Chains A and B, each alone.
Chain A
Amino acid sequence: MADELTPKSPSVDQTLHGYSDGHRLIAGTAKLASGDARSMLILSDASGPGVDQAVDGYLTGYPLQGCGKYVLARTWGAPEMSRPGCVWTHSLLIDFADLATLADADGLLSLFRRPDGGRQGYDRRLRVPSIARHAVANSNRAGGLLNALYLHPLKKVEMQVRRMLEDERLVLAVWFQQWPRLRRSFRFCTLMGADRSSSAEMFDLQLVFDRSRTQRVSIDNTAIVEDGPAEIELSTALEDLLHPVPGGLTAFLRRVGGDVSDGRSAMLPLCRLYDALNSLSHNNASFAMALDAFESLSIGQGQAAREIVFEKALELLDSLDDRSFNFVLDNIWSRGLEVDEAVVANIGAVLWRRSPRQFASALEDPDPIGRIARCAIPQIEASLLVNGIARDPEIGRRIVLRRLDLLFDQNFWAIPDLEASSILEVVDVEPSKVPSVLAALVATGRTDVAEAAISRFGAGVVLEVLADFSQSDRMADVGTWTRAVVRHPLEVATVLASGSTLRHVVVELSKSMEPDDLPNDFGDDPWAIASASIGQVEPADEIQFAAFLMARALGYRSRSCATLFAASFECTHKALASGEMPDSAWRRIERRLSWVFPWLEWDRCGRVRQAVVDKFVDLNLDPGTFGRLTTDGSLFADIIDLASRSGRGRRYLARVRRSSSWNTPDDKRGV
């Protein structure tokens, strides 16, 4: 009897049953509860009356649920005993856990020993040696057995004995091919005289010598093994029996069978699953077959199989059909599968590509798909998001709330039918980032959101952004935006009054406004402050702006007329003198000039000079400013001359002379 001390090989309990004033337990190492002891007493007895006892005995395998052990027993006839029908049975009791670790039964078989009169040697545990596995030879017989066992999973299977040793090897090979959970519930007997099943426990496989002779022991609900090739669905199982390879079907069954409790019924679905997974390429149809095979297991079965199928699905994520993809979604968290965050994000990205609407709808859901969406959205490329929103603009608002960076993307704002105004209402943008958002908006050429943008962010920052555009080549509709801005005169006034607005912005504003649009109820005129703005503008725009300022100064609104005149008189006069003043600009000024005879209308310069002098004198505007209206001596002499034509004017000029800003002899020339 082999008893190697192999560190990793399991040890087993043993018992010996035989006749001693009744069939009883003779010796053994296991302490069993009465139920298990009773089962062993019955199943260690002869397998039926009239059974011709094989020389090497026969095997019986069955579980003892009470103690969690599997019994593999060999029974020999005991003709030396006084009563006929006596037997010896040597049983090995293998822990379920150890049974799962054994690769084959050959080590167990080597431990069996028929007693030779004494009961020594049955009182200690045995170590299972590692022995080379015997192969299965007869493919037709094996195929027939597989067919009977797994095509009729609820039936008892009966097979006629041919050659005891060969049959025994076949039965053991089939048994060890099974996944551990099935293996430890599988009941078999390699020589039967009467059905060994009880009402509670069915024997899966029993071998009988001659069915024709033993019709009287025929078993109801039985599938008879008939030699032949395995059914196509079991061909892999047959090949695995005949030519086992590492990592083959047996290893697969071992991996996935841990929580499969369907018994033999699960073999076909698991074989189909194995075949389908092995044939997977990037072929949608094959994965669908794998999913079919998996779903043919009973509900709640096969967590390990589920994980394998899930892993495969992740590899083929982009090519899955809807059903297969839904399998991924259903399983990612709901079945307890732990998944790397990067994988979740990838799944979410695929979900986005497949159905942006579903993705967006899920964002607020507490369910697993919602978690997927929330995990994935930060990592999906902006361009992909934009593409998806373009397919379904209604979802843009939900998406942008979680991806504020889209606000800076002009492609996002360019999406037709995007509810841009409502988006601007709800997004929370850092003040420093607002210009970027507005720039993206304006760059798209959208003007429908101008009012919404101004009311959300204020005219000032909008003006800043518009300034940037007017200096560039971008084809933005700045004019519409500006017109939108000027519909908020108070805000414009505030901006201008800050004194920090760049000159070209000021000039653009003046183009869109009327000279008297902005109020000036107190303090300095915003236009007067803005007239000192810095920056370069085109000469034509300077002329337009000067005309605008002149018109405002000649109007009723401003409290800073002197400053406005100072900023605009020389430029205006010069432009009028040279004929550079556009008619539109002149009309602005002319509306505010006094009436003259038609034959005097041509003298625009004279009319302007007269109007300016009248304003200064009549309103007693700052004399110092009057003295600085122009650096042109000739022009200055003209306006001095005009002012001196009335007593009032002369008295005004005296004040001009006395003003501190006009103290040099040159300044006093002509006064």
Chain B
Amino acid sequence: MTDDKVIHPISIVGLPGSGKTTFLAALWHLVRSRDIQGRLKLESLRQGNYEHLMDIETRWLIAKEQERTQVAGMRTVSMDLLDAQKRPVRVTFPDVPGEDYQYMWEQRAIDDDLARTLSSGNIMLLLNGNKIEAPNWVYDEAELCRKLNLPLPQGEAVAWHPCLSPTQVQLVDLLQNFRGRPLDCGPRRLAVMISVWDKASGEGKAPEPFLAEKLSLLDQYLRSGKDKWTWRVYGVSAQGGEYDSAKEGATPSPQAAALRDKDIPSERIRLVHGENESHDLTEPLEWLMN
């Protein structure tokens, strides 16, 4: 019997701490448990470290902060899903540590394996809405020093390092790399996922306006259409709130307790697109697969 599933490679891209592992844990729970109606359901795990997925799902369920993903090479998770018409599709996620994308920005280099993986399929770009490094204006720094009666450093050279660059500069460069050799495979779809949306939504903006305001460079880059991205912006909170710290002896979080008390864990998930909100993390997947 031939395997006639359509394969949709989707790369989850994001800098360290952007929420990739949390997203994967929540997605895994969502498609496996089917505790809410989602657009895609799990048929089988095709490839991936089942124990690892169960581990991160367990931490997500008990509302405990995920451990960071080690820089230990790329793992691929491949799930066979059924769409609403029960058509089988296969979604593959290369589980890439954020450091690999950081490496692309700082070292201008990419591993061959990762290059092969990223040179096909659409992109889900995760960025931490609560940790956007905005550029500092020299004028503002000077004004602040003046108000605080602090001496303004004169003539002090600061060694520049790529890691000091603003978040959106790194992200735009990352996206531009996808449209150049060796990753270019033509125009793609891009789902920009602003994670930790539970914190970012406090600004009262929908995801797209949030992007335009906080990450204006990225927004302008996408709107210019120069690299022909077909893009959407989502706000996502895969955790739904603050989780307990993984550190020993840390004080439990009341929010985490509340999240654990939910009867339907998947209801922690918040996905916002425009004015619409749901718990279904498969919605951007379905769009990317289209």
Bound-state CA distance A347–B206 (Å) is 94
Q: Does B109 touch A at the CB level, under 8 Å?
A: yes
Interface contact B68-A86, CB-CB below 8 Å: yes
A48-95 interface (Cβ within 8 A of B) = 48-50, 79, 83-86
Contact with B along A17-44 (1 / 0, CB 8 A): 0011111100000000010011001100
Interface contact A21-B70, CB-CB below 8 Å: no
Known A-B contacts A21-B17, A49-B52, A50-B55; A38 and B111 likewise in contact (beta carbons under 8 Å): yes
Interface contact B52-A22, CB-CB below 8 Å: no
Q: Does B38 touch A at the CB level, under 8 Å?
A: no
B10-40 interface (Cβ within 8 A of A) = 15-17
Interface contact B67-A84, CB-CB below 8 Å: yes
Q: Does A45 touch B at the CB level, under 8 Å?
A: yes
Q: Inside 8 A of A198's CB, which chain B residues have their CB?
A: 73
Contact of A216 among B15, B51, B68 (CB under 8 A): B51
Bound-state CA distance A435–B258 (Å) is 125
Chain B's interface size range is: 20 to 34
Q: List 9 A-B contacts (CB under 8 A).
A: A22-B98, A37-B107, A45-B70, A45-B72, A48-B70, A48-B72, A84-B65, A84-B246, A84-B247
Interface contact B109-A34, CB-CB below 8 Å: yes
Q: Does B141 touch A at the CB level, under 8 Å?
A: no
Known A-B contacts A21-B17, A22-B15, A79-B247; A49 and B70 likewise in contact (beta carbons under 8 Å): yes
Q: Does A46 touch B at the CB level, under 8 Å?
A: yes
Interface contact B55-A22, CB-CB below 8 Å: no
Kindly provide the distance from the CB of A474 to the nearest chain B CB, expressed in whole angstroms: 93
Interface contact B72-A194, CB-CB below 8 Å: yes
Contact with A along B234-268 (1 / 0, CB 8 A): 00000000000111100000000000000000000
Bound-state CA distance A86–B247 (Å) is 11
Q: Does B99 touch A at the CB level, under 8 Å?
A: yes
Q: Does A552 touch B at the CB level, under 8 Å?
A: no
Q: Does B92 touch A at the CB level, under 8 Å?
A: no
Contact with A along B71-84 (1 / 0, CB 8 A): 11100000000000
Q: Does B168 touch A at the CB level, under 8 Å?
A: no
A80's nearest neighbour on chain B, judged by CB, is B247
Q: Inside 8 A of A23's CB, which chain B residues have their CB?
A: 16, 68, 70-71, 97, 99
Q: Does A196 touch B at the CB level, under 8 Å?
A: yes
Q: Inside 8 A of A38's CB, which chain B residues have their CB?
A: 103, 109, 111
Kindly provide the distance from the CB of A290 to the nearest chain B CB, expressed in whole angstroms: 45
Q: Inside 8 A of A24's CB, which chain B residues have their CB?
A: 99, 102, 163
Q: Inside 8 A of B247's CB, which chain A residues have their CB?
A: 79, 84
Contact of B71 among A45, A79, A84 (CB under 8 A): A45
A19's nearest neighbour on chain B, judged by CB, is B68
Bound-state CA distance A381–B16 (Å) is 85
Interface contact B17-A83, CB-CB below 8 Å: yes
Kindly provide the distance from the CB of A71 to the nearest chain B CB, expressed in whole angstroms: 15
Q: Does B66 touch A at the CB level, under 8 Å?
A: yes
Known A-B contacts A38-B103, A41-B99, A45-B71; A22 and B17 likewise in contact (beta carbons under 8 Å): yes
Bound-state CA distance A198–B111 (Å) is 13
Q: Inside 8 A of B68's CB, which chain A residues have their CB?
A: 19, 23, 83-86
A194's nearest neighbour on chain B, judged by CB, is B72
Known A-B contacts A21-B15, A22-B98, A49-B52; A84 and B66 likewise in contact (beta carbons under 8 Å): yes
